[in-house]
Amino acid sequence: MGLLDENYPIGAIFSGIADRFRVRRQLPGLAPSDRLDGRLALVTGGASGLGFATSVDLARRGARVLLVDVRDLDHAERRTRSLGLAPGRVEALHSDLSDLDSIDRLVTKLAHRGVRIDRLVLNAAIVPTSARSTRQGLDEMFVVNYLSSFALVTRMLGEGLLPCDRAGSEVPRVVFVASEAHRWSEDLTLDAVDHPRDGSPRRVLAWYSTYKLMLATFAWELARRFCPTGAPQLGVFALCPGAMRTDIARELPVPLRLPLDALMRVLFQDPFAADEPVLYLACSRALAGRTAVYLHKMTPKDVDPRAADPDMGRRLWERSEAVLARARGR
């Protein structure tokens, strides 16, 4: 495995730059009528980067948005108002997605408020430079980048926060911010999915790709479970936004971070451009009645065959339930 392999930071940078020029757009932009007036959206990791841009642009298309993050919430709300959004159009909610108890408290709070989520955008991700343990004794990167999404979706479904008794264009949509990195992953080893990982900075992007493969596999299993008769009760979508300027690599060592920041400023997309496929999957009327759609930027693709494998999807779901039950002490 060489330095230009995508699992190394240098290789990932050059792969991201190449995407700017080699991925041909196949879909039109959203029409002005593709709006979410009267709908409620929830975006994880919404205080910065792609999550913030998505929150703002969903609000601009009429949605009321719940922006979920663990930091910079007051700053995020002030930024939304500075961009011309009315107070209350975007509401910041605290939840630490590395803490399963915090996720449960968020869902309980939303259930007590009686909300129903029409659009759920699962965006949160981290790229830590070392292995860290969560309050439940799990690896932090595993929880934030994968297990938190599984926990949030399954708890919301259990509490009725994602109403799956609708039909046609009214079914809720779940949008997973995945990555083309899911194709680089080694095959999943499910009996070790919650084991401590190698915390070497050289391996962090390999783990990132593994968790993105888990995310895509979970998404396609979710799509199968909520499309039993050919008419989806839940629209499930995933995307890779392409290379963009973000602070996801803020923990990298300075010798790596500084040149990466410089390259991002010059060659990577602004998050308010990179969020176009997220908005398309959340808002486009052309997707009514569809599920299991993956976009690389604005180009439809098949997910990696491993992510679409029904047996792997079922096994990952069952293993994730077992990990959650043990972590919650049940």
Q: What is the pLDDT of residue 292?
A: 98
Q: How many CA atoms, within 13 angstroms, populate the side-chain half-sphere of residue 313?
A: 18
- Average pLDDT on 313-322 reads 98
Q: What is the pLDDT of residue 243?
A: 85
Q: Mind giving me the DSSP string for 265-293? A: HHHSBPHHHHTHHHHHHHH-GGGTT---E
CA–CA gap between residue 52 and residue 38 (Å, rounded):
20
Handedness of CA 269, 141, 193, 44 (dihedral sign): negative
Per the structure, the count of domains in the chain is 1
CA–CA gap between residue 223 and residue 201 (Å, rounded):
34
| 179 occurs within a structural domain | yes
CA–CA gap between residue 330 and residue 322 (Å, rounded):
9
Q: What is the pLDDT of residue 10?
A: 47
CATH number of residue 184's parent domain: 3.40.50.720
Q: What is the pLDDT of residue 261?
A: 66
Q: What is the pLDDT of residue 116?
A: 96
| 297 occurs within a structural domain | yes
Give pTM, 2 decimals: 0.91
Say whether pLDDT at 17 is over 70: no
| 308 occurs within a structural domain | yes
Q: What is the pLDDT of residue 237?
A: 98
For residue 228, how many other CB atoms are within 10 A of its CB? 9
| 193 occurs within a structural domain | yes
Name the pLDDT band for 266 (thresholds 50, 70, 90). low
- What amino acid is encoded at 289 in this protein? G
Residue 118's alpha-carbon distances to 43, 255, 267, 307, in angstroms, are: 11, 43, 34, 25
Q: What is the pLDDT of residue 204?
A: 84
Which residues fall within 8 angstroms of residue 234, CB to CB, at 6 or more apart?
Answer: 162, 164, 171, 172, 173, 174, 222, 223, 226, 227, 291
Two structure tokens written together for 90:
């975007």
Q: Are residues 138 and 197 in contact, defined by beta-carbon separation less than 8 angstroms?
A: no
Q: Are residues 40 and 113 in contact, defined by beta-carbon separation less than 8 angstroms?
A: no
CA–CA gap between residue 269 and residue 128 (Å, rounded):
22
Q: What is the dihedral of CA 206, 272, 123, 211, to 10 degrees?
A: -10
The pLDDT tens digits of the residues spanning 221-261 come to 999 999 987 789 999 999 999 988 766 556 666 666 666 66
| 1 occurs within a structural domain | no
CA–CA gap between residue 18 and residue 38 (Å, rounded):
39
- Average pLDDT on 143-167 reads 93
Task: Find the domain containing 234 and state its range.
Answer: 9-327
Say whether pLDDT at 61 is over 90: yes
| 105 occurs within a structural domain | yes
Q: What is the pLDDT of residue 246?
A: 67
CA–CA gap between residue 27 and residue 295 (Å, rounded):
10
